[in-house]
A = this chain, B = another copy of it.
Amino acid sequence: MEPLRPQRRTAARVLDTLTPALILLSAGAVTAEDGGAMEELTTEKEAEESHRQDSVNLLTFIMLLTLTILTIWLFKHRRVRFLHETGLAMIYGLLVGVILRYGIPATSYHNKTPPSCSLKEGPVSTVLLNISGKFFEYTLKGEINSREINNVEQNDMLRKVTFDPEVFFNILLPPIIFHAGYSLKKRHFFRNMGSIITYAFLGTVISCFVIGNLMYGVVKLMQVLGQLTDKFYYTDCLFFGAIMSATDPVTVLAIFNDLHADGDLYALLFGESVMNDAVAIVLSSSIVAYQPSGANTHMFDAAAFFKSVGVFIGIFSGSFVMGAATGVVTALVTKFTKLHCFPLLETALFFLMSWSTFLLAEACGFTGVVAVLFCGITQAHYTYNNLSAESTQRTKQLFEVLHFLAENFIFSYMGLALFTFQNHIFSPIFIIGAFISIFIGRAFNIYPLSFFLNLGRRHKIKGNFQHMMMFAGLRGAMAFALAIRDTATYARQMMFTTTLLVVFFTVWVFGGGTTPMLSVLHIR
């Protein structure tokens, strides 16, 4: 493979903005006349090849999941608790990532170097290419780094398994969040509603600003030390704070559930982590919206800040209303149509209505996650009672399976991403700074708020509960999803790498340490 690389590089480097470069590679140039049939055949074969490649990619993930399931069974069978299934999925993902990265030789692309041409306007979503008289349509996949250009052709498989955030947000996330809402234990949840909202809203905002400001300090330090090679704005730091403030309900709660630990603590942790996913999404998109347009300052601006707050409240309440409304509509439909004579139709309707909440909210510019969470709660509260016996069971099981698959998929994907994502920027100072500031941010969330909440609560939140909440601040799928959504700039790439490491560390160490920690803190 090696001897070919220099040539490929030159081909890629001819790219230039000033000369409208048209690269003619030696391989292709067929005349329009006799090439018709052959070209058609090539396209067909290429389509088939790409179909096969897609199948292999999907298969990789499915095999990973299968392996995870079998190992989970083994662990459950042997009562191993130091490693949770999500941690396991991540480890398998890592291993496959390593294999893909280092085990598979770069496929021979010697006559497949991506050709290129120049345009002087902004990136557009669709481009037409005139190739030997035929027009081909190309769609934008994303920006790539100049560093990356040399890699483009090196390992196609690696890039193919890098996955579309759209898939995550529209397909994998909704069932997870919906299931959380649908299977919520309402009594404990509503009893602790005030505290949950305080932690989730106020706490997350505090944590976001604490982390953001600390990280800004770290970034300044890096600039002084000359470790930063590109721009890193204050708003980027705040964005990082928002990403890092979403705690993950998955791991700790699964263990809590297995151990039947204290109901109130469970409700607090669960409620906080579900709600703050939503808060983090809204926060991060508000911060992006808040970036003062046109200007280069990216600094703090009071007017823009209050606008953000307004946006935040508007989005949140809109999503809440939308989720609850769809839930109520489903409840009314199931009540008045006697659909329960046909459980299959009922289940399908239930499924579609719940999913449509998510999409409806996203389409209106609200937050689908918040909407689907409240939709789940409403469905459980109202619709559930109208369903036929078969449907109640069917819907529960359906969402349980979907949730399980989506969750494990995400965690194994995270493992995979560490090696397959090609733009990692590892900055030790930034990473260490992130770990410290996340810890401090979490502390600023839990302890002061618990103090104030205890002033008003009848059942005080005890010290050991507070330590447990502090300890249980894992970062998981949501942080990852927010970080991968945009990895175009230097700052975002560094954040993505750091986020991945934080997720790995917290899931393995804190997740694995939950059971010992519970007994250390005398919680039962």
Partner-B contacts on A (CB < 8 A): 12, 15-17, 20-25, 27-30, 32, 34-44, 46-47, 50-52, 54-56, 58-59, 62-63, 65-66, 69-70, 72-73, 76-77, 112, 114-146, 148-149, 152, 166, 169-170, 231, 288, 291, 293-296, 298, 333, 337-339, 341-342, 344-345, 347-349, 351-353, 355-356, 359-360, 362-363, 365, 368, 394, 397-398, 400-401, 404-405, 486, 488-489
A114 to B133, CA, bound (A): 17
A288 to B46, CA, bound (A): 13
Contact A122 B42 (CB under 8 A): yes
Contact B129 A117 (CB under 8 A): yes
For the complex formed by this chain, how many copies does it contain in all?
2
Contact A66 B356 (CB under 8 A): yes
List 5 additional contacts besides A65-B348, A73-B339; criterion CB under 8 Å.
Answer: A41-B293, A55-B170, A62-B356, A127-B127, A136-B144
Which chain B residue lies CB-closest to A117?
B117
Which residues of chain B have C-beta atoms less than 8 A from A46's C-beta?
123, 125
Contact B144 A128 (CB under 8 A): yes
A-B contact pairs, 15 of them (CB 8 A): A17-B132, A22-B120, A36-B231, A43-B488, A52-B365, A55-B359, A73-B342, A73-B345, A76-B341, A76-B345, A77-B341, A114-B126, A134-B143, A137-B144, A137-B152
Contact B142 A337 (CB under 8 A): no
Contact A40 B135 (CB under 8 A): no
Which residues of chain B have C-beta atoms less than 8 A from A339's C-beta?
73
**Cβ-closest 5 pairs across A and B:** A28-B121, A20-B22, A116-B128, A138-B138, A55-B362
Knowing A142-B137, A356-B59, A486-B47 are in contact, say whether A293-B131 is a contact too (CB < 8 A).
no
